[in-house]
Amino acid sequence: QVVRMNSIGPRSEMTEPGRRSERSAAMHTLSSLEDFLRRHQYQVGAGLALLGTLAVTIGVLLLSLAPRPDLQPGPSLRSTAQASTMTTTPAAGHRIVWLGPPARLWQTVNGTGELIRPKADVLFVPNFQFDGPVINVSDIRGQTLTGFGGAFSEASARVFRELPPEQQQMVLEGYFGKDGIGYTLGRIDVTGDFKLDTFYSDMTIEKRVQVPFVKAAHELLASQGKAIQLLATQSDPGPWMKTNAKMFPPAHPCLRETVSAEWAQYFVSWITEYHGQGLPIWAVTVQHETVNNAREDCLLSPKEEANFLSDVLGDRLRAAHPNVKIFLSHHSNHQTFEWADLLRSHPVARFTVGVAFQSPAKADLQAVERVRQDMPKAQLLASEAVGLRQRWRWHKGGTVATGEWELGKNYALDIITDLNAGSIAWIDWSLLINEERIGPNHVDNIWDAAMNLLADNDGGPEREDNVWDAAMMADLSTGEVRRHPQYYFIGHFSKYIVPGSVLLHSSLHTGSGQVGKTTSPGSSERSALLCEPEDGLQSTSFLRPDGLVATVVLNCDDKAVNFKLLQGERAAHANIPPHAIQTYMFEHTGHSPFQHPSQGGTPFIGVNLGGWLLLEEWMWASQMTEPGIRDEYTLIQKKGGPQDQRAISLLHNHWETFVTEEDLNRLQQFGITHVRVPVGWWLVDYDPTEGFVDGSERYLHRLLKWLQVRGMRCVIDLHALPGAQTSHQSFTGKYSNVGGFFLDRRNYIRGQRVIEKFANLILGYERDPKTAGVVLGLELVNEPEWKFWRTSPGVRELYEQMVPVLRRQLPAYRYAIFLNFMESPRTEGSKWLADMRKRDPKNYESVIYDVHMYHSYGDDNGPGREWTPYVDSCKTCCRDPAVLAPLVEHDVPILIGEYSLNTGFPGNPSFYLEYLKNQLSLWASTPGMVGSFFWNHRILRNPGGWYKEMSLLELLLPRGPLPPISQMNLTVRCPGKDLSKCPKFDPTTTLWSDKCVWRGNPDVNDNTGKTQAQLRDDGSRTNKGGSSR
C-alpha cells in the first residue's frame, strides 16, 4: 500500500507507456521489498511494533490534549525537562491585587421565605469589564452614624403593656436583642406627643406606662454592653400655655409671652427626671413639627424657634445638661436649609449641632443635600419616618398576618436616601401604636406609620381611617405577634450598619443595559418616595468600626438584575431578585486572603475533594479492592499502563463523574464555602514513564470555574511528592515502605521544583478571568512523616526553604500557605511557626498551621478501647481543646485540614449530628482558627460498607441526618454539654489518642436535674411559639 500510494501521480500528465513503465518499476520495487522482509522479518517486526506503540502514544496524547467545551486546559506546566525554564516571578504586566475574603450576603425576597437569610458568599476577583449596572463603593467618607430606632409613644407603651410577658420579651428581643435588628435609638416625647390625654405637669403617666417600656429596652441593651440613646422632642404644651388656649387648631404665635421661661424650665426638669430613672437623654429637638397645621402642634418659624432657644432654653439646658445635643427641628425636609441657615448667622449656633428633619410625602432631599454641601459641620438627623395614607395603604389582599411588601420596599428607599443625604441616624415615628390600630388621636387621622414596633389587630385594612401598619403587629385577643415585611427591610440596615459606622459614598453606573432612570428618587420631580421600577437599583455603603463594609442594595425593578459590586481594584459578580433587598458585608482593606479570627472573622467550613485527582485504594471499593492494588499507580498498571485505553478511559470517566456541579450545589446549600483538592506531583510535572495517566489538570481548571460562579474558594493540596513524603500510605500515589522523598535528594530537589510549578499554575489561574480569585492558597505537602522534621533533607528544611520562594510569587495579602504538621503533642512545630512569624513576618504572614484531627486510625473503637458516644464527645469537648492549646498559646493561625465522623464504629444518625456539631463548635470557639475541611465529600464504597461517616454527601438531608449548618448552634463549644465535668489535660503532654472520660453525666445539670437542652428550652419557650417566630 505504501508503494502504491507513493507511485500515484496526476493522471492527466501521464501517458499510457509511462503508466506501464511505472507499474513495472513498482513491481520490481515490491519484489525487492518482499525479499528484504523475508531476510529481516524479526527486526522489522520489532520495529513495526515500536512504531505502533509510538503511534498509540501520540494518539493518546493528542486525545488527552484535544479541547472540550467544558474542559479547557489551564496554564500548561508539563514535563520535568521544562523546569529550568520556569519563571519565578509573576508574569510581566500582571499585578496581583488584594481580594480579601468573599463578601457575606443576606437577602430578603418576596414569596420565597427568605427573610434576612444568609446566602452563598460572593467572591471578589480582580476588576473586570461589565456592560451593566455597577455599584462603585468609593473611599470618600461622609457622616458617622449614631444608629437606628423608633419612638416610645404612650400609645405604643399601652399596647406593649397589654401583651403577655413572653410576647413582650419577643418584641424587645426582635428590636433590641443580640439576634434582633439592632435598634439602639429611641425617641421619647417630652410633653405628650400622641398622648391619649392632654398635657400633665409631672411624669405620672410616663412612670406608669412609658418608662417601663423604655427601661426594658435599656436593660436589654445594657446586658449586651450597649447603651440606649434617647432623643427627646418637645411637641405641644398644654392649652393654658398657648395663645389660643386650645390643643387644636395649632396656634401662631404659639406660646404666651409670660410662660416661655416656665415651658423651658419644664423641659429641663423633665430631662433631669429621666436621668434620675437611669435613662440617658442623648439629644433634644427644640420643637417637633414646627409647621404642621394638621395636628396639635406649636407653630414656630425658623427665627422664632431660634430665638426661643438662644434667649430662653439654651442657657438653662446647657447649665443643667451640658452633654445633651440640641437640634433645630421642623416638619418636612424640603425646608431643612431654611433652619440650617440660622447656624451661620444667628446666636443660636452656639447651642445647636444641626437640624432634624422628617421624611415627607414629597420626597425632596435636595434641601438636605444642600445643607450637607454648604455646611458640612452641621449634623443632619432623620428624626421621624412618616408618609401620607395613600403612600402606605395596603393593597387588596393585605392582612395583619402578611402585611404589605410594598411598604418594606418604600421604607428601604427612604432609609437609603436619608443616609446618602447625610443623616447621622434614622428613627421611625413610633415603636408601637394604640390598640384601636388607627393610630394616635390626631385630627382626621391623616398621618400614618410604615414602621411601628407593634400595632394591635383591632380593625382591618378595609376601614377608611385605618391606614396604619407596623413591622410587628399584635392581636391582643390571642397574644400573637407577627412581623411584617418592613421589619426585615429595615433590619438589612439596622442589623449590619452599626453605630459608629461611616458613610462611604457610592455611585451607580447603569452601563448600556440601563436599569432605572437617571432621575434621583429624592428629586422634586417625584411626588412621593416610592420604590418603583424606574428607580432600578439603589444602594448605600458604610464602613463599620470593625473594618468591614456593609453595602445595602435595593432592587425596585420588576426583574432580576445582574450587577457588578466594585471596590477599588476588586469586584464581584452579583445578582438581586426583583423587589428584593440585600446586604453585603466585606473587608474594607486588608493584608490577608482571609479575615483573621482576632478581627472578628468566622472560620470557614469546607470539604475535601479527596480520591478525585489522586486516588486512594480504600475510597474506590469497586475498582481498588482487588489483590495487588494499593494506590493509583498499581491500579493503572492493572489496566495496562498509562498509555492503555482502559486506564485512560477509567481515569477520565472518574474525573468526570466524581465531582459534579450538582455536588457543589448540594454542598453549598449545606453551608460549604471552601474546598481542598488533593493532587499529585504529576499534575504539573508529568513523566509518562512514572506510570500515571495525564490530563487531570483540565478537570481542576473546570472545577475552579464552577467555584467562581458560586462564590466558593479552593485550596490546592500537594498530597503526593516524588518518592513519597511518608511511608505505607496510598495517598502518595506510589506506595512506599520508607518515604523516599526525604531520603533521596534527587526527589527532594524535584519536589521543590514541583512546588514552584504549582505556584506558577496558580498565577495562571489568577490571570484567567473565569478562575481568578478562586484559589485561596497552596498546601506544600500533605502529612509528611514527623520523623523527618529535623533531618536534612527534612520537613523543617523544606518549609524554611520554600516559604520565601513561594512568597516571591504568591504574596501574603492574596494567598495563604498551609503547612501540615504531624506532631503530637503539638508543641515543637507550633513554636517553630510562631518564631518564624516573628523573625520573618513578611514571608510568614498568612502561613497557616494545618492540623488533621481524627477519632480513628488508633484513636477509635480498636482492640482494648471502649467506644460510646459519651467517650467520643469527651474527646471532642475536653481532650481536643487541650490538643489545640499549644497552637492557641503560640498565637499561630490554625486550619483543620482534615476531620470526619469516623470513630471505628458504625455510629448512628443522632450521633453523626451531635459529633459534627461538637467539632464545628470547637473549631468556631478556638482562637486563631481560620477554617476546616471535612474529609471527604464522597466515598465510593461498597453498598453497606464502611466509611459512610466520611462521605458527606451521603450524610446530608434528606438522605442523611445532617441539616444545613445554619440550623446548628455553633456559638458555644459543645452545646448541651456541661463542660465543668471535663477531665483535666496538660496541653504540653496531651496526645491526639489519649483516652477521655467525663466526670459525671455531661448532659445533666446537677443543680436542676435537667438536661442542658431542657434548660435552654425553658429559657426560650413562649406562649405562641409559632407565631412569635
Instruction: Place 192 in a pLDDT band, splitting at 50, 70 and 90.
Output: very low
Report whether pLDDT(740) > 60.
Answer: yes
Q: What is the pTM of this model?
A: 0.80
Average pLDDT over every residue of 929-955: 91
Residue 14 pLDDT exceeds 90: no
Alpha carbons 1019 and 166: distance in angstroms, whole number:
10
Which pLDDT value is given to residue 771? 95
Top pLDDT among 281 and 304 is at: 281
Q: What pLDDT, on the 0 to 100 scale, is given for residue 55?
A: 52
Average pLDDT, the chain: 81
Residue in this structure with the C-alpha cell 428590636, named with its chain if needed:
175
Nearest to 931 by CA among 731, 718, 672, 678: 672
Nearest to 982 by CA among 854, 861, 880: 880
Q: What is the pLDDT of residue 462?
A: 34
pLDDT in the model for residue 868: 84
Task: Please give the average per-residue pLDDT across 499-519, as a whole number.
Answer: 74
Q: Distances from the Cα of 824 to the Cαs of 190, 414, 687, 827, 887, in angstroms?
A: 67, 59, 36, 8, 12
Quick one: which of 718, 717, 715, 701 has its CA closest to 771?
701
pLDDT-based confidence at residue 590 (cuts at 50, 70, 90) = confident
What's the order of all strands across the beta sheet hosting 455-456? 455-456, 472-475, 480-483
| Three-state secondary structure readout of 778-789 | EECCCCCCHHHC
Q: What is the structure's pLDDT at 46?
A: 47
Query: Is a pLDDT exceeding 70 seen at residue 344?
Result: yes
Of residues 251 and 821, which shows the higher confidence score?
821
Please tell me the distance from the alpha carbon of residue 735 to that of residue 959, in angstroms, as a whole number: 35
pLDDT over threshold 50, residue 1020:
no
Whether residue 731 is predicted with pLDDT greater than 60 in this model: the reply is yes
Question: Given this model, what pLDDT does residue 512 score?
Answer: 59
| 148 closest CA partner among 77, 226, 96, 206 | 226
User: What does the pLDDT read at residue 142?
Assistant: 94
Over residues 833-847, mean pLDDT = 97
Distance CA 924, CA 601 (A): 10
Length of the chain in terms of residues written: 1029
Residue of 777, 775, 715, 723 lying closest to 751 (CA atoms): 723
Q: What angle do CA 940, 854, 665 make, to 5 degrees?
A: 45
Contact 348, 355 (CB under 8 A): no
The Cα–Cα gap between 853 and 926 comes to: 14
pLDDT digits (tens, 9 = 90+) for 644-682: 999 999 999 999 999 999 999 999 999 999 999 999 999
Inform me whether the pLDDT recorded for 461 exceeds 50. no
Model confidence at 700, in pLDDT bands (50, 70, 90)?
very high
How far apart (Å, rounded) are the C-alpha atoms in residues 332 and 420? 17
Higher pLDDT, 81 or 94: 94
pLDDT in tens, 788-829: 999 999 999 999 999 999 999 999 999 999 999 999 999 999
The runs of H, that is alpha helices, within 95-134 are none
Q: Is the pLDDT of residue 78 over 90?
A: no
* Rounded alpha-carbon distances, angstroms, from residue 807 to 446, 799, 803, 804: 67, 12, 6, 5
pLDDT above 50 (res 714): yes
Greater confidence, 25 or 759?
Answer: 759
Q: Where are the alpha helices (DSSP H) in 177-291?
A: 204-205, 211-222, 260-276
Residue, of 374 and 613, whose pLDDT is higher = 613
Rounded to whole angstroms, the Cα distance separating 751 from 729 reads 18
Of residues 361 and 703, more confidence is placed in: 703
Q: How confident is the model at residue 569 (pLDDT cuts 50, 70, 90)?
A: very high
Structure-model confidence comparison of residues 248 and 143, the more confident one: 143
Residue 1025 confidence (pLDDT) above 90: no
Q: Per-residue confidence at 858, pLDDT binned at 50, 70, 90? A: confident
- Residue 49 has a pLDDT of 47
pLDDT of amino acid 395: 64
CB-CB contact of 355 with 283 (8 Å): no
Kindly list the distances between the CA atom of residue 714 and the CA atoms of 95, 543, 953, in Å, as whole numbers in the listed order. 21, 28, 18
DSSP class of 382: E
* Model confidence at 523: pLDDT above 70: no
The predicted pLDDT at position 602 comes to 80
pLDDT score, position 193:
39
Rounded CA separation 333/329 (Å): 10
| Tens of pLDDT, residues 387-442 | 444 444 566 666 666 778 888 898 899 899 999 989 999 998 777 653 444 444 34
Strand partners, 895: 850, 931
Strands 134-144, 713-720: pairing is: unpaired
What pLDDT does 92 receive?
47
Whether 506 and 551 have beta carbons less than 8 Å apart is answered as yes
- For residues 401 and 256, which has the higher predicted lDDT (pLDDT)? 256
Q: How confident is the model at residue 144 (pLDDT cuts 50, 70, 90)?
A: very high
Rounded to whole angstroms, the Cα distance separating 291 from 298 reads 8
Nearest of 318, 358, 353 to residue 336 by alpha carbon: 358
